[in-house]
Amino acid sequence: MVRTEKPDEAMVLAGEMRATLGLLKRRMREQAPPHDFTWAQISVLSLIEREGPVGISDLARKEGVRPQSMGETVAGMQSAGLVTGAPDPQDGRRTLWSLTPACREMIRASRSRREDWLAAIIREKLSPAEQKRLSEGVALLKRLGEALGESSADYRP
């Protein structure tokens, strides 16, 4: 069936946002250092950074993968010096994974480099009035992201 009705404004905005955020993400990825992390590693490292020490099963569940796959990912990150394991104080049979100090520094440096690049582009390409509008837009995006986290925590397209 061919759609003949005009898409509503929210649908058009959603499509434009998806494409624009994808472009911005690609441009920011280009600014990452050559030794930067894979997207799977970024996801796992972000989760550990946010939530603190966590076990393989919890990581796997939150990332929507099998524990065996997560075990391989974490083993690779351990070999690279990104994470370290320690016995769970509640259950000594379990290992809790944390970021190493070197990993925390790599994350900080990578974020700093991308933020410096983006700040320079914002200053160069946008007027003060446009920067204010962008700030308002970022606040709306943040609110939208928080609302999505509340309403669809397990949604993964």
- pLDDT tens per residue, range 37-77: 777 888 899 999 999 999 999 999 999 999 999 999 999 99
Taking domain 36-99, whether its CATH number is 1.10.10.10 is answered by: yes
Quick one: which of 132, 137, 133, 103 has its CA closest to 35? 103
Quick one: which of 98, 107, 50, 61 has its CA closest to 78? 98
Q: Which amino acid does the sequence have at 24? A: L
Asked whether the predicted pLDDT for residue 156 surpasses 60, the reply is no
Does the pTM surpass 0.85? The reply is: no
- Which residues lie closer than 8 Å to 71 by C-beta, 6 or more apart? 56
- pLDDT tens per residue, range 9-20: 999 999 999 999
Average pLDDT over residues 102-107: 91
